[in-house]
Chain A
């Protein structure tokens, strides 16, 4: 394999420097001479009580090596400076809880978890951003105490192992993020796209920037005569699902494909990148590009205004939360199962191009400890401080007070079986 010296070469024995003292690394065995001419001491098979016994491998530098390893070991075995551990008189909740799910929520979950762990250092919550599908599957199988999911858990996704018998899953909307339509065209700072034009751009029907449809909506913009590169997600994602749902609801004649988490259209100008950051990078580093991404990650790129009931709206936290607050809850078996049916045509002044992500919990837990932790944590998540925290660290839009109150009410209804 690479790096290994080939056939051992015959080397002339160096007469000079061989008089260094050797450290015997003893094998308790009949001695075998392995160093030919290097050591100044020769080991001779003698009676058992002789101090020097065993074969000798010349290691003049062994002590130095050993010292380095010991130092490195000490350095690494130390605890993290930011994890002081739990005081002796700590009497709050403790334990480790696992959760998994949507990667869109990851930053927000990190914010909520860190807030909760700061208050209760005895608790460790591990949220694995493995994706909504895997998150829901993990929750159904009982491996996690809650799931983060961009789509609601359907009643027919299997029997819930960690929930009590007869319990159902509750979907609690906890994360709202507007989806920004970002673009990077030299010389163009503002762009307005109505649903039909947007759908046509994103499915390849409109191929150049100075197309009459775009120009009609943006008379002052200096649109170049260049092909449009549409940057979309190459991995399955809830952002794609929400974006395609918006396009399908508002422009069904142009965007004919059903909404799904895989981007459906493939054409010469469509470029698939991995992850939100991939799409943002693709738009930023490319030329004459347009794409869709979580608004919190849009980092400095210009975004388009969308047409909502005759008005041009830019994305903002308040507008996004207003769109969610104006949408009705779906009809579900449990009155606390708060699945939102987003009205993508939205009330005027709201920004209905949003992603709503849920925290999927049991209505009743088998284990009392799980229930206690969950109710405490979920009420923190839905509280004003919790939402402010995620807005600050993850860029989400805080829940409108009405929605948050319904969520908190649902959390209060969670119990434990026995």
Chain B
């Protein structure tokens, strides 16, 4: 069947190839645009950060000395938030997927998603006005009775603007994302595996540890990494709630808390000029690198699990 017997087929073929070419090109360029934008952001960060990396801060100290407490504070706050949020997120996800009555489950999921709807400024306001004063009696009790543990070393802060409060606020902020992802993963567990465990006489918890949790482990790790990424980059809530100092300290309830990189930028950028601006952007670059490392680690762990 020759293509020339019907002229419209010929034109249709050409149109088809053109359409395919155009569309494929458009989508490829959209992807490339993302790479270009990211490269531009990286170049911008490096170009602005270079003077600070070379010369140090405008008060004469080396850049490393400046950024080390900040990097520590960022990772420490995010790690604390993650430690608080993971068990609760897994618990809630299990509750919604396996323990709650069917009809209630969807509604409960939505209620937790409501937390995701709250912007970080509002969390900051809530943290200052409600949570910080509420943690003061707890801080007093901890320093009085458990002060020998370095985490709870005193003296307790009188205003509640401590690393403990910030960790709680961050944990509440990353909870909905992690819960939603864990919930999706737990719901995908093959029913056959679950029912096989139950048929063999396992209690519900044993069924969960045998079939649901192992199946969902990569998903839980992904959810944790997602939450960690959010906690690392959180700016406004931490800036409003934390009482910062340039220290590397593990104490949770004192007034001297290590600041995080993002909140440090937010607090000092308005008054910064000259080398100060470069220093702040350089700390932003460090944060970017930390987040990159965390993402790469997560991706490697998940891929290792699924391939192997």
Contacts and interface: CB of A to CB of B under 8 A. Distances in A.
A2 B246 contact: no
A269 interface: yes
Nearest to B272: A133
B271 interface: yes
Interface stretch (A189-197, A270-278, A339-347, A380-388): A270-278
A282 B161 contact: yes
A268 B255 contact: yes
B8 to A, nearest CB: 16
B273 A103 contact: no
A234 B157 CA distance: 15
Contacts of A289: 158-159
- Tell me if A's interface is mostly helix, strand, loop or mixed: loop
Contacts of A136: 273
B180 A274 contact: no
Contacts of A286: 136, 158-160
Contact of A236 (B128, B132, B256, B271): B271
Contacts, number: 105
Nearest to A281: B128
Interface stretch (B77-85, B209-217, B236-244): B236-244
A49 to B, nearest CB: 21
B265 to A, nearest CB: 11
Please tell me the size bucket of the interface on B: 35 or more
A396 interface: no
Interface in A10-55: none
Please tell me the size bucket of the interface on A: 35 or more
B271 A273 contact: no
B240 A2 contact: no
B306 to A, nearest CB: 18
Interface string B267-301: 11111110010000000000000000000000000
Contacts of B184: 4, 6
B243 A273 contact: yes
B247 to A, nearest CB: 7
Nearest to A150: B271
Interface in A286-322: 286-289
A229 B116 contact: no
A235 B240 contact: no
Given A131-B271, A137-B273, A236-B270, A268 B180 contact: no
Interface in A229-265: 229, 231, 234-237, 261
B254 interface: yes
Q: Which of A237, A261, A270, A273 has the most CB of B within 10 A?
A: A273
B164 interface: no
B133 interface: yes
B176 interface: yes
A177 B305 CA distance: 63
A274 B133 CA distance: 16
A274 B242 CA distance: 9
B267 A234 contact: yes
A285 B132 contact: yes
A229 B79 CA distance: 28
B34 to A, nearest CB: 18
A3 B267 contact: no
Contact of B271 (A2, A3, A237, A267): A237
Interface string B242-260: 1111110000001110000
B77 to A, nearest CB: 15
A268 B271 contact: no
A412 interface: no
Contacts of A285: 132-133, 159-160
Contacts of B161: 271-273, 282
Contacts of B247: 266
A132 B272 CA distance: 9
B177 interface: yes
A107 to B, nearest CB: 17
A67 interface: no
A236 to B, nearest CB: 4
A2 B187 contact: no
A227 interface: yes
Contacts of A282: 159, 161
Contact of A134 (B132, B246, B267, B271): B271
Nearest to A291: B159
B248 to A, nearest CB: 13
A348 interface: no
A268 B254 contact: yes
A286 to B, nearest CB: 4
Contacts of B254: 268
Interface in B164-217: 176-177, 179-181, 184, 187-188
26 contacts: A1-B180, A2-B177, A2-B179, A4-B184, A6-B188, A103-B270, A131-B269, A131-B271, A132-B271, A133-B270, A134-B273, A137-B273, A227-B158, A229-B157, A229-B158, A234-B243, A261-B271, A268-B155, A269-B255, A271-B157, A273-B161, A273-B243, A274-B240, A285-B160, A287-B136, A287-B158
Interface of A: 1-4, 6-7, 103, 130-134, 136-137, 227, 229, 231, 234-237, 261, 266-274, 278, 281-282, 285-289
Which 10 residue pairs across A and B have the least CB separation, nearest first?
A131-B270, A2-B180, A236-B271, A229-B158, A286-B159, A286-B158, A133-B271, A271-B255, A235-B267, A131-B271
